[in-house]
Amino acid sequence: MKKEYILPSLNEARRRNKDVSESVSFVLEDRYKGLGEGKYFYIITHGCQANQRDSETMAGLLHEMGYEMCDDEKKADVIIVNTCAVRQGAEEKVLGEIGALKRLKKEKPELIIALGGCMAQEEKSVRIIMEKYRQVDIIFGTHNITSLPKLLYEVLETKTRKIEVYSKMGEIIEDVPVTRFMSHKAWVNIMYGCDKFCSYCIVPYTRGKERSRNKEDIIYEVEQLVKDGYKEVCLLGQNVNAYGKDLHMDYTFGDLLNDVAKTNIPRIRFMTSHPWDFDDSMIEAIRNNSNIMPYIHLPIQSGNSAILKKMNRRYTREEYLALFDKLKEKLPGFSFTTDIIVGFPNESDEAFEDTLSAVEHCKYDNAFTFIFSKREGTPAALMEDSIDSKTKEERLQRLNERVAYYANLNNQRFKDQIVEVLVDGLSKRNAKVYSGYTPENKLVNFTGEDVKIGDIVKVKITEVMSFSLNGVKVE
C-alpha cells in the first residue's frame, strides 16, 4: 500500500519569490460528498483570528461532506485540533490536549483525530507527533486545508495515517465552503502569509509568503455578509498595511478600506497593522469613513531601538512614537492597543526601562504582553541570552501593572456615558448579563430587556474597570 508522507521543511518555507499568486477556484469532488452522512465533527481552535477563520473553512468543508458539527468531543467521529505555534506554551497546551484524546480513541477506535494549523508546519512538532502521538491520524498544514476531504477519505479507506504539509503556497484558493461560527461578526481574510520575518517569529514560516486576495473577491464577500445581516467584519492579515503590494498594483490598503466602507457594513475592523507602512492614505480612509471603528492595534514589541533592530522590526523607538503621536492627533477618541515582548535575548534593564517609558508615553488602552519564547528555525532562537527567567517574570509583572493602570485610566472617559454596543451574547460569568463591544473595542457587560445577539444597543456605563465596563441598556 502507498504510504507517502508530505512533510514540512522550514528551510523551504523560508524562501520567497516575487511571483504574483494566482487565484484558483475550489470544487469539492463528488466522491467526498455524503461521506460524513450521520457523523459528527468537533473542532478545537487555538491561536489567532487567522486560525479562527481557518476553522470555519474546515467546518465548511466537513459540512459539504455531510458531517454535522457538535460541541461534545465524546460524540464526535472526527476531532480536528487547529494549532498555534507562536509560543512554546501554545504548543505544550496542544500536546497535552492530544495526549488526553488517546483515551477517547481507545474507547472508540474508529474516531479520526486530525491535527492542523501552525504546528503542523514545523518539522520538530510533526516529528514529535509522529513518534509519540500515534492516536493522531491526519496531519495537515495551513496550506493543505482544502485537502481535508481527501485525507479523511483516504484514512477511512486505508486505515493508515496521512500527512500532507506543503511548506510553500503559490496560490490563493477561492470559493471554499465556510461555516461561520457567528451570525453577526465575520472574519474576512484580505491576505495570507507574512514577509516581515521579525527575528523571533515563526509565522512567516508557518503561513508562507504574503499573498493578497483580489479586491473584487474581498468586496463581494463583504457585500454578501451585509445581505446576510452581518453587522461587523474584521479584515484579517498578519500585516494589513502590506495589502496589495504583492499584486504589484496601484491599489493600497487605504483604497480597500474605502471600498469596503462603501458596502455600508455597520462596523469595520482590521488586524494587524504593522507600524511599517502605516501611510497617510490609510489614516485618511480611517478618518473619512464612520463605519471604520475607532480602534487601532499597533504592536510596538519593544521601546528600545537596539532591541527593535535585533527583532528586525524595521522601525526605531522614535519612528514608532512619532507615528503613534500622529495617529493620536489625527484620530481623536480612538483607542489604541499594542503587543509587547519582554525578555528578548539579552534585553538589558535599560532596554526594558525604554519599553516601560514607551508605555508611559502611549498610555495604551490595553496591551498583550508576552515573555520571549524561543522558536526553532528563527534567527532569535540562536541569539545568546543571559537573562534569567525570574528577571523576565518580574519585568512582565511590572509591565502588566503599568498596562492595567493606563487601561483603567483610559476607561474612565466612559463613566456615565452612553455607548453603542454590538451584542455578542450572554456574559460568560453571569447568565442575566449581556456582553458586547463598543466601537472602541471596549468589552461591556450590561443588563436590559429585549436584547438579541447582533443588535446594536445603547448602554449607559455605570461602572468602569481596567478591562471592561458595566452598564444598563437605555432604550
The site for ligand SF4 (CB under 6 A) is made up of: 194, 196-198, 201, 203-204, 238-239, 274
Name the closest residue to ligand F3S (Cβ).
Answer: 47
Taking the complex as a whole, the smallest distance from the CB of residue 61 to ligand SAH amounts, in Å, to 25
153 Cα distance to chain centroid? 29
Taking the complex as a whole, the smallest distance from the CB of residue 381 to ligand SAH amounts, in Å, to 8
Q: How many angstroms separate the first and last alpha carbons of the chain?
A: 67
Taking the complex as a whole, the smallest distance from the CB of residue 273 to ligand SF4 amounts, in Å, to 10
> What number of chain residues touch ligand SAH (CB under 6 A)?
17
DSSP assignment of 231-275 equals -EEEEE-TTGGGTTGGGTSS--HHHHHHHHHTTT-SEEEEE---S
Specify the residue, 53 or 162, whose C-beta has the smaller distance to ligand SAH. Answer: 53
Cell of 367: 496591551
375 makes contact, choosing from ligand SAH, ligand F3S, ligand SF4, none, with CB < 5 to 8 Å by partner type, with ligand SAH
Angstrom distance (rounded) from CA 79 to CA 157: 18
- Residue 427 is a binding residue for ligand SAH (CB under 6 A): no
- Residue 272 is a binding residue for ligand SAH (CB under 6 A): yes
From candidates 185, 375, 392, 473, binder to ligand SAH by CB under 6 A: 375
How are beta strands 138-140 and 78-83 bridged, if at all? unpaired
204 makes contact, choosing from ligand F3S, ligand SF4, ligand SAH, none, with CB < 5 to 8 Å by partner type, with ligand SF4
Angstrom distance (rounded) from CA 443 to CA 140: 35
Specify the residue, 368 or 467, whose C-beta has the smaller distance to ligand F3S. Answer: 368
Taking the complex as a whole, the smallest distance from the CB of residue 439 to ligand F3S amounts, in Å, to 25
123, 10 in Cβ contact below 8 A? yes
Taking the complex as a whole, the smallest distance from the CB of residue 297 to ligand F3S amounts, in Å, to 14
Count H helices and E strands in the chain, helices first.
13, 21
Angstrom distance (rounded) from CA 468 to CA 443: 5
- Residue 339 is a binding residue for ligand SAH (CB under 6 A): yes
40, 75 in Cβ contact below 8 A? yes
Is residue 157 classed exposed, middle or buried when 0-12, 13-18 and 19+ CB atoms within 10 A define those classes? exposed
The three-state secondary structure class of 94 is helix
- Residue 222 is a binding residue for ligand F3S (CB under 6 A): no
Angstrom distance (rounded) from CA 317 to CA 322: 9
Q: Please report, as residue ranges, which positions from 433 to 462 form the binding site for ligand F3S (by CB under 6 A).
A: none
DSSP assignment of 151-177 equals HHHHHHHH-S-EEE--S---EEEES--
* Region of 92-100, 259-267, 359-367, 368-376 interacting with ligand SAH (CB under 6 A): 368-376
- Residue 241 is a binding residue for ligand SAH (CB under 6 A): no
Taking the complex as a whole, the smallest distance from the CB of residue 87 to ligand SAH amounts, in Å, to 5
197 makes contact, choosing from ligand SAH, ligand F3S, ligand SF4, none, with CB < 5 to 8 Å by partner type, with ligand SF4
Q: Please report, as residue ranges, which positions from 79 to 108 form the binding site for ligand F3S (by CB under 6 A).
A: 84-86
Site track for ligand F3S across 20-59, x = CB under 6 A: ---------------------------xx-xx--------
Name the closest residue to ligand SAH (Cβ).
Answer: 339
66: left (phi over 0), alpha (psi -120 to 50) or beta: left
Helix (H) or strand (E) holding 360: helix 349-362
- Residue 201 is a binding residue for ligand SAH (CB under 6 A): yes
Neighbours of 96 (CB within 10 A): 9
Specify the residue, 396 or 444, whose C-beta has the smaller distance to ligand SAH. Answer: 396
- Residue 341 is a binding residue for ligand SAH (CB under 6 A): yes
Neighbours of 189 (CB within 10 A): 21
Angstrom distance (rounded) from CA 392 to CA 398: 10
* Region of 133-141, 199-207, 320-328, 401-409 interacting with ligand F3S (CB under 6 A): 199-207
Establish whether the linkage from the previous residue to 272 is cis, with ω within 30° of 0.
yes
> What number of chain residues touch ligand F3S (CB under 6 A)?
13
Specify the residue, 11 or 430, whose C-beta has the smaller distance to ligand SF4. Answer: 11
C-alpha angle 447/448/454, rounded to 5°? Answer: 95
Specify the residue, 177 or 299, whose C-beta has the smaller distance to ligand SF4. Answer: 299
The half-sphere exposure of 341 on its side-chain side, counting CA atoms within 13 A, is: 23
From candidates 166, 372, 406, 434, binder to ligand SAH by CB under 6 A: 372
| Site of interaction with ligand F3S (CB under 6 A) | 47-48, 50-51, 84-86, 117-118, 202-203, 206-207
Contacts with ligand SAH by CB under 6 A lie at 86-87, 200-201, 203, 238-239, 272, 274, 299, 301, 339, 341, 370, 372-373, 375
